[in-house]
Structure 1
Amino acid sequence: MRKSKAETAETRRRIVEVAAGMFRANGIHATGLADVMAAAGLSHGGFYRHFESKDQLVAEACEAGTADILAALEAAAGGCAGRDGFRALVEAYLSPAHRDAPGNGCPLASMGSELARADEGTRAVASQSADDLIAMLARRLASPSDPAEPADPLNDAQGDTVRSRAVFALSAMVGALTLARISTDPQTSASLLADVRQQLAAIEV
């Protein structure tokens, strides 16, 4: 029986969701298409009915993973604006919980070295992921001109400075999380996260 468009779309969404978790947890190259399809409860042969290539799936999985981390960070900020919101984002990103759950975390930290070697389309998606995270941080770092209606930090007079601080913050966060995951010593790993949290909390615009 032929599947409806809705069923086909749901199957594709499930494949992307499963792939997003597996690529982040295990790495892109270490995760085969057969592994993804089996985890999604589907046959390997059905993959090419939904995607042209593994590269296409990687790009969509990166996009989905970014949506996950953005939503998680927004939830962690709890609606806080300004510097309180910025600190909440940093605390959530550089937390032991995020470190210990790469399959549910930021794709830039989990897959960054592999994404840097990916095809141009996938790198474009990863670049957009970085831009989205930078924008999230910049919105909190910016000082609103009107508390009732915060200014767009990328368009006001301080825009360049705010964005520069946000770029620095994201780079430090991704790097610290990666190093914390590499470390085999629990105390060193925890200290890496704590030290960078402390330094980022002191950022001034």
Structure 2
Amino acid sequence: MPYPKGHKLKVRNHIITSAAKAFRTHGVRNISLPHIMKGAGLTHGGFYSHFENKDQLVKETCHFAISDTMEMLQKVADKNKNEDQSAIEAVIDFYLGSLHRDQTEVGCILPALSGEISQLSEEIRQAYTRELQRFITFITELAEIDTSAGYALVSSMVGTVALARAVSDSKFSDDLLQAGRTQAKQTVNTGSK
């Protein structure tokens, strides 16, 4: 019996979603294809009917994960925007908050992969670079700041989350997030167009 129309795309999306969760939590090198396929509810044997290799999966997963993060942050901006807080301040508070730090499986993939990406293939590095540029553009436009300030803002945000997730002392981690929020908001204020 043939599969219904759209079945292969649906399965492919399940694989990418499983990979995004796994890469966000454990990085790329520490995750096997069988682990990703199991997370999608599939067997390892079906992987190659959807992707040429792991590099292709990583590239497509980076694109999916950044799109997912931007959509989530846009919702935060839209929901929390009020007279007392701008959209970018709401995004900064969320991105540099304990919930985002602690829920790695649904968080931004940039801090999760930043430490290992330079050691992966050139093809993956190029994909990561494109997705970082897309994320910088999103944040820069949301903040209504110049490009240089956008680079600084995103670098600060991604670096803060990476460090806050890495340390073993929870108070130190919280302090890093607080300092990051303060600095990010100062960057927005000084980088306004």
Would the TM-score normalized by the shorter structure come out above 0.5?
A: yes
- Aligned residue pairs: how many? 186
Which one of 140, 143, 146 corresponds to residue 141 of structure 1? 143
SS across alignment from 1:78: helix
Partner of 2:115: 113
> Is contact 1:68-1:105 (8 Å) kept?
no
CA distance in 2, matches of 1:182, 1:41: 30
Partner of 1:28: 28
Percentage of identical aligned residues: 32
Indicate the structure with greater helix content.
Answer: 2
Partner of 1:147: none
CA distance in 2, matches of 1:140, 1:9: 32
Residues 26-55 of structure 1, C-alpha deviations (whole Å, 9 max, x = no match): 221111101111121111111111111011
Task: Report the CA distance between 1:9 and its aligned residue.
Answer: 0.9
Q: Which runs of 5+ in 2 are unaligned?
A: none
Residues 148-176 of structure 1, C-alpha deviations (whole Å, 9 max, x = no match): xxxxx7xxxxxxxx100010010011111
Which one of 90, 93, 108 corresponds to residue 92 of structure 2? 90
- The range that moved more, 44-53 or 110-119, is 110-119
Partner of 2:19: 19
C-alpha RMSD over aligned residues? 1.7
CA distance in 1, matches of 2:143, 2:39: 40
Task: Report the CA distance between 1:120 and its aligned residue.
Answer: 2.4
CA distance in 2, matches of 1:140, 1:6: 35
Amino acid at match of 1:109: P
CA distance in 1, matches of 2:21, 2:170: 24
> Is contact 1:66-1:106 (8 Å) kept?
yes
Residues 78-102 of structure 1, C-alpha deviations (whole Å, 9 max, x = no match): 1749x81221121111010010011
TM-score normalised by structure 2 residue count: 0.90
Instruction: Please say which structure displays the higher CA radius of gyration.
Output: 1
Residues 122-173 of structure 1, C-alpha deviations (whole Å, 9 max, x = no match): 222211221122112211332xxxxxxxxxx7xxxxxxxx100010010011
Partner of 1:183: 167
Amino acid at match of 2:65: G
CA distance in 2, matches of 1:193, 1:172: 10
Which one of 154, 164, 169 corresponds to residue 170 of structure 1? 154
CA distance in 2, matches of 1:10, 1:102: 24
Amino acid at match of 2:56: Q
Q: Which runs of 5+ in 1 are unaligned?
A: 143-152, 154-161
